Amino acid sequence: MNHSRFVIVILACIHLVLFSCQQKKEPRELNLPKTDLSQADLIPKPTTIQATNTAFPLDKYTIITTLKDSTGFADVGTFLANSIKDIARLDLSINADAQDQESIIYIKRSDSLARGNKKEAYQLKIGTDSIVLSAASAAGAFRGIQTLRQLIPLKANDTITENPVWPIPTGTIDDAPQFVYRGAMLDVARHFFTVEEVKKYIDLLAYYKYNTLHLHLTDDQGWRIEIKSWPKLTEVAGQTEVGDEPGGFYSQQDYKDIVSYATKNYMTIVPEVDMPGHTNSASVAYPFLNGNGKTPEIYRGTHVGFSTFDTRKDSVYDFIDDVVREISAITPGPYFHIGGDESHATKKSDYIYFVNKVEKIVQKYDKKMIGWDEIATADVDSNSIVQFWASADNARKAVEKDMQIIMSPAKKAYLDMKYDLQSEYGLNWAGYVPVDTAYIWKPENYENIPLKNILGIEAPLWSETISNSSELEYLAFPRAIGFAELNWSTPENRDWKNYKVRLGNQGPFLEKMNVNYYPSPLIDWKTEEEPIEKINKD
Ligand code: ACM
């Protein structure tokens, strides 16, 4: 072969390789199913939905384009691409040069969508060849992505063809949350949960548009967060938990890893160090804290109300200052939770003195103090936040002080209450909380607390009876999904009969995510993706 023929052959080969690598568009015959956006199984229910009854063809030719500046929209696009890879095993390109694409998902900023405190508002306009997701912030775009994920069928319309299509129903969704604080709490103190277990919980909560995870980091049975200036907290108090299991703790690096994972999911971590009660483990590590001169025994039981810090000793406040300083330095969110519940071993006057002193420490480190509802009995600042769990009287005291309130009434919102007599895990001191009881209540006027004082709902999960993801999921799911809707959707958009159908249809997603949900007999659970009705062509 002479030189020029050799070059021509090489060029032809290169052309062939390039050409065959391209996702070449072919004329498509789409036999898309009938789809009605207004009937989609979305949880939480969006503010408004207008259906146009056709379908957007998500397939390998779809591309994702986002605003490319540093405001986080491109990361949200990457999150969507990864979600689509999980569901559909499609590897969509992000922000590649688009030429003549048949279907595009465009994620953009629209400042006009941010009204008042609705910073997470978004609009999703789904047409037959484009999906435009607009939001005032990347957080809003992230919430919109969760809606889009819920609209993608777990199975393609035709798995035999070379180009399967995941049809997405068309129309427009305008949406914004009712409450700015949409939280869950996990007690990692009674039983320790690993970083990976916490991350899986974050994945599931983010899918339902939660934006806050409160970690109950310390209690009588164990201390779970490394404090560099007080190493025995984890060397000693991190090694025990309820029962015989070995406990555990988060190094500051582990905690930062959780915080950064939460941040990628647009979730805020709220750290809680419970005091002056619930402090037996801290006093096992440093006996001067309890002020009675005795080293307490390690406690592996589940009673409450027997421990207290010495509230009249300066060294106790020096200790608390170090703890709040070190944790605040690795917590980007605005809150620090001081517990403050069930301090039955603390004199009333000492309790009030203590809460006021600790509030000042929290404020010194630029955080807003949150405490369980007992803190409303102290002389607290109106900027601090009360978490209503047991006493409506305390919640009303908070209203009188014009404080914001997080709604977690145990009778409705405690995820550790048993569902019913058959429940494998959980307690029942606040009663049984079946799936309908958890959903059918109005946080908007519960116990006459005015709406303007309500920051949002938080669903606490105490871990006396659970010690791993599977047990956690049994208690949290499906009830946590209902709290997502109570938090996000306004009362006009909530209805038990309608909700329970949408909830039953979460079955295939929960199974795909390996979630050990409680299959409540109140719900008609769908167990696998059933074929979607095809358009009748004639
Ligand atoms: C609590 O359940 N002790 C806040």
- Ligand 1 centroid to 1 CA: how many Å? 85
Taking CA atoms only, the protein residue closest to ligand 1 atom 1 is: 341
Taking CA atoms only, the protein residue closest to ligand 1 atom 2 is: 389
Atom of ligand 1 at shortest range from CA of 387: 4
To test the ligand 1 pocket, which listed residue (342, 344, 391) has its Cβ within 8 A of the most ligand atoms? 342
For the chain, helix, strand, coil in percent to 5 are: 35, 20, 45
Q: If you ran DSSP here, which 8-state letter would residue 427 be given? A: B
- Ligand 1 centroid to 193 CA: how many Å? 19
- pLDDT for 163: 85
Taking CA atoms only, the protein residue closest to ligand 1 atom 3 is: 341
Atom of ligand 1 at shortest range from CA of 372: 4
- pLDDT for 533: 42
Of residues 210, 329, 214, 196, the one with CA closest to residue 270: 214
Beta-sheet strand order (sheet of 166-175): 48-58, 166-175, 122-126, 130-135, 104-109, 63-66
- pLDDT for 20: 41
Report residues whose beta carbon is within 6 angstroms of any ligand 1 atom.
Answer: 341-342, 372, 389
- pLDDT for 28: 58
Q: In tens digits, what is the pLDDT along the chain, a chain of 538 residues?
A: 455 555 555 544 444 444 444 444 555 556 666 689 999 999 999 999 999 999 999 999 999 999 888 889 999 999 999 999 998 999 998 988 766 677 999 999 998 887 777 899 999 999 999 999 999 999 999 999 999 999 999 988 876 678 899 999 999 999 999 999 999 999 999 999 999 999 999 999 999 999 999 999 999 999 999 999 999 999 999 999 999 999 999 999 999 999 999 999 999 999 999 999 999 999 999 999 997 778 899 999 999 999 999 999 999 999 999 999 999 999 999 999 999 999 999 999 999 999 999 999 999 999 999 999 999 999 999 999 999 999 999 999 999 999 999 999 999 999 999 999 999 999 999 999 999 999 999 999 899 999 999 999 999 999 999 999 999 999 999 999 999 999 999 999 999 999 999 999 999 999 999 999 999 999 999 987 554 443 333 3
CA-atom Rg of the chain in angstroms: 26
Beta strand extents in 265-362 (DSSP E only)? 268-275, 335-339
Atom of ligand 1 at shortest range from CA of 389: 4
- pLDDT for 101: 73
CA distance 316 to 350: 13
- Ligand 1 centroid to 228 CA: how many Å? 28
CA distance 507 to 486: 20
- Ligand 1 centroid to 171 CA: how many Å? 44
CA 510 to centroid of chain Cα atoms: 15
Amino acid identity, position 370 = I
CA distance 51 to 204: 27
- pLDDT for 530: 53
- Please report the domains of the chain, with CATH numbers, ordered by start residue: 37-175 (3.30.379.10), 181-494 (3.20.20.80)
Q: Which of 102, 245, 342, 511 is catalytic?
A: 342
- pLDDT for 100: 67
Q: Who contacts 524 (Cβ-Cβ below 8 Å, separation ≥6)?
A: 500, 501, 504
Of residues 24, 31, 155, the one with CA closest to residue 512: 155
Decide if 511 is catalytic: no
Of residues 90, 71, 69, the one with CA closest to residue 81: 90
- Ligand 1 centroid to 389 CA: how many Å? 7
- pLDDT for 14: 47
- pLDDT for 26: 53
Cβ atoms 363, 369 nearer than 8 A: yes
